[in-house]
Amino acid sequence: MYSEKIQKKLEAENIEVGDRIKVNDHKGTLMPKTKASRKGTIVLKLESGYNIGLEPEEIQLLQKQQGKETKQTETEYDEEKPNILILHTGGTIASKVSYEEGGVKPAFEPEELIKMYPGVADIANIHSEVVAQMLSEDMEPEHWQEIAQKIHEVKNDYDGIIIGHGTDTMSYTGAALSLMLQNIDTGVLLVGAQRSSDRPSTDAATNMYAATKLLTETDYTGLGICMHQTSNDKECYVIPAAKARKMHTSRRDAFEPVNTQPEARINTQTGKIKYSKSNEANGEYKLETELNTNIGYLKVRPGLTVEEVERILEHDYSGLIIEGTGLGHMPVNSFDDKTQHHKEILQTIEKIAEETLVIMTSQCINGRINMNVYDAGYKIQEAGVISGEDMHPELAYVKLMWSLGTTKSLEKAKERFRENISGEKNTRTPYTG
């Protein structure tokens, strides 16, 4: 509730929460008063989608809201249309404006989704279930297992499955699912949004429409991530889920393929689809969701100390990811009095590798590990560290959990990690332009 003074001004102009108004020189939608709002201010949602607090000198009604949220009626399904299941885990993709509560809130019911994504409802029947409800930075490996199990249970009941997911850790989930659901014969696409649905620049509807087009109009099977290919709304693409990575904090085209090519491109203006799936299923479907989450992570950098590496030894990890430099390097050579401790770092890594599966990856993201070029690489290999090849660090981290979880011994886990399970590694790194 606004202060008595402001409330009188609003009532005089017949202004309610949700109306479009002008406050001083700013135009936007009137939002409810929040506890965090300063006394004597009005909360306005600007056309950019951001909220602002203003001390009102002048208030003018511009447009009454189109109608408050009403109870949804049951959706009628068309037997001629394909059926798409949207599994929700949370994130911006499932957010809508709530003028009663302020800001945005999740929208999970099919009727709500039809209003948010009318283009999707034109080409498919929408079904909806909630698997989790959280920001993706709060996602834990156990949630990957729950999502995989749910997909396994319902995969034969729908023409395609969309997983609504927050973008921050979507590539981790994609990597995990591609290993857990090997050779799946249903199309499964993770879809996110960089901008919420209340913002004019939202990418939510476009990404959802593109994913639905591919799932309903092609024979796509497997796991992919469907997001904007460019910053405009013209085209989206589908990247193999294991080989995608978020490369920008806020751009709509934040996701890029790493050491691979996109599997499909969807022109969202013409509806044309260019489909060239590169990682076809090469075996029978198999569900393997076991994980060993006792994994350490070491980021190499100038100034790395022996004590830091020794603390890893004390933790008794089952596996360790080293995010090295360049082709897969870390400080192991001594050149002067300032680098004498590098020998001790190498010795400690060798001790760790005796009972721990240690994987070398690169901070460079694109390209592949090659520890056969420089002396440092040879020494690191001799210490027992194995190559992550062309897997980016996050993918290697997830695959290491899975390799250790689905095997009974360190040697078996090493063999499994070196296998190409679901297109997560390539023998040669393709040029991606």
C-alpha distance across the termini of the chain, in Å: 55
Give 38's DSSP letter.
Answer: P
The residue written with tokens 């080293």 in the block is 322
How large is the angle between the packed helices 375-382 and 342-355, nearest 10 degrees? 40
Which residues make beta-bridge pairs with 129?
A: 87
Q: What is the dihedral of CA 404, 410, 415, 417, to 10 degrees?
A: 30
Question: What's the burial of 61, exposed, middle or buried (CB within 10 Å: 0-12/13-18/19+)?
Answer: middle
Half-sphere exposure for 283 (CA within 13 Å, toward CB) = 9
Of 279, 202, 283, which is closest to residue 238 (Cα–Cα)? 279
Helical H segments across 218-271, by residue range? none
Helical H segments across 79-181, by residue range? 110-116, 118-123, 141-154, 170-180
Residues marked as catalytic: 92, 167-168, 246
Containing 159, the helix (H) or strand (E) segment is none
Evaluate whether 404 touches 396 at the Cβ level (below 8 Å).
no
Chain-centroid distance of CA 107 in Å reads 19
Of 13, 173, 152, which is closest to residue 93 (Cα–Cα)? 173
Evaluate whether 223 touches 211 at the Cβ level (below 8 Å).
no
Q: How many CB atoms lie within 10 A of CB 1?
A: 7
Return the structure tokens found at 7.
Answer: 């409330």
Q: How far apart are CA 261 and CA 413, in angstroms?
A: 28
Of 205, 196, 210, which is closest to residue 116 (Cα–Cα)? 205
The residue written with tokens 């609003």 in the block is 10
Q: How far apart are CA 358 and CA 378, in angstroms?
A: 15
